[in-house]
Amino acid sequence: MRIDIITVLPELLKSPFEASILKRAIDKGLVEIHLHNLRDYVTDNYKQVDDYQYGGGAGMVMMIEPIDKCISKLKSERNYDEIIYMTPDGETLKQRMANHLSLNENMIILCGHYKGVDQRVRDHFITKEVSIGDYVLSGGELGAAILCDTIIRLIPGVLGDEASALTDSFQDDLLAPPIYTRPAEYKGWKVPEILLSGNTPKIEAWRDEEAYQHTKERRPDLLE
């Protein structure tokens, strides 16, 4: 998979890909992340990427030309499955969306800033608009990092234990059951007996029931 991220703040997007699972995925050659500084596509001397909005109103708008130049250059080099714009009014990121996007080969992610981008960018270049939740970030970068994380960890070979992505919370619309590791007793707090029994079918049944109860308590909306 190849992900091209277009941003005015590339430095904000470096560290998420320099540690842990995402770094390992890159080192293994399973994913390539390319950061593109939008200012490199500006022709004027001030390196201006934004301007006042027509009709007046507070807040600057990202201009179409540098975005067009960057996206068009990338599109001339390869085909893209999706050109995503990070925006609070996009479709909310859910596990199901991450699952679908993890099957793609090439994607562009455009990070919005200021008030957002000129509507014509959205109308003519963008194929999918994604929000990471009902709150406003100061820019799309952190949202893009989260989106990339959710996608990349699903690529086969990225997680050491192939089964573990399948047992995550949300993967079957249930929250994950409680988990424990050694010691079996700590300060008098005991691990549930059933988990020490070695009886796999009973353990699975216990986990299913715990996941269901946990979901019912915390996220009844997921059961509807």
The residue ranges that bind ligand ADE (CB under 6 A) are 86-88, 112, 131-133, 135-137, 140, 143
Residue 127 or 213 having the CB closest to ligand ADE: 127
Report the distance separating Cα 213 and Cα 209, nearest Å: 6
32-37/2-7 β-pairing = parallel
Q: How far is the CB of 193 from ligand ADE (least distance, A)?
A: 43
**Amino acid in position 116:** G
Q: How far is the CB of 76 from ligand ADE (least distance, A)?
A: 27
Closest approach of ligand ADE to the CB of residue 180, in Å: 34
CA–CA distance, 28 with 218 (Å, rounded to integer):
37
In the bound state with ligand ADE, the residue whose beta carbon lies nearer, of 91 and 204, is 91
Shortest reach from residue 121's CB to ligand ADE, in Å: 14
Residue nearest to ligand ADE (CB): 143
90 versus 177: smaller Cβ distance to ligand ADE: 90
Strand partners, 108: 4, 83
Q: How far is the CB of 131 from ligand ADE (least distance, A)?
A: 4
Least Å distance between CB 11 and ligand ADE? 17
Helix extents (H) in the chain = 20-27, 64-77, 95-101, 119-124, 141-152, 200-218
Q: Are 17 and 33 a contacting pair, CB within 8 Å?
A: yes
Count CA atoms closer than 13 A to 205's CA, side-chain side: 7
Nearer to ligand ADE, 129 or 173 (CB): 129
33 vs 147, which CB is nearer to ligand ADE? Answer: 147
Round to whole Å and give the CA distance between 88 and 145: 15
Q: Which helix or strand (DSSP H or E) is residue 33 part of?
A: strand 32-37
Where do runs of H (alpha helix) occur along 78-199? 95-101, 119-124, 141-152
**Of the two residues 132 and 165, which places its CB atom closer to ligand ADE in the complex?**
132
Q: How far is the CB of 150 from ligand ADE (least distance, A)?
A: 13
In the complex with ligand ADE, which residue's Cβ is closer, 145 or 159?
145
Nearest Cα residue to 105 out of 128, 80, 126: 80
